[in-house]
Amino acid sequence: MELIYDKTNLQTADDIIGFFKSAIEYRKFHKEESEKIACFVFDNTHETKIKIPLDEELEKIRYEFGALEAPGQPEDDMDEADYIDTLWSRLSSIIDKVNEKRTV
């Protein structure tokens, strides 16, 4: 997880969003590590590990990563891999929306 490890010096909200985006990008090429990536992000954005408190939006994103540690089972006949990809894609969209609101 080299691409993510260099993002663990989180001092601003922008750093945290960048860290979240790096994790999403890293996962695109390492899908087999999805649960480890989710755990890594969740653990490294805990209030004891970062220099600023998370606002409500960033805290929600943090918990979304936490939920991806154990994503559950898909409904209906959806393939499990497709289901997990869908969850990560949803999270990526949430991060993009939060980032967009902050840059306006």
Q: What is the pLDDT of residues 65-80, one digit of tens each?
A: 999 999 888 888 889 9
Q: What is the pLDDT of residues 10-31, one digit of tens each?
A: 889 999 999 999 999 999 999 9
Task: Quickly state the pLDDT bin for 97 (edges 50, 70, 90).
Answer: very high
Residue 72, phi-psi category: left (phi > 0), alpha (psi -120 to 50), beta (remainder): left
Task: Quickly state the pLDDT bin for 49 (edges 50, 70, 90).
Answer: confident
Q: What is the pLDDT of residues 39-48, one digit of tens each?
A: 999 999 999 8
Tokens 């967009």 belong to residue:
100
CB 61 within 8 Å of CB 94: yes
Residue 12, phi-psi category: left (phi > 0), alpha (psi -120 to 50), beta (remainder): beta
Q: What residue ranges do the domains of the chain occupy?
A: 2-103
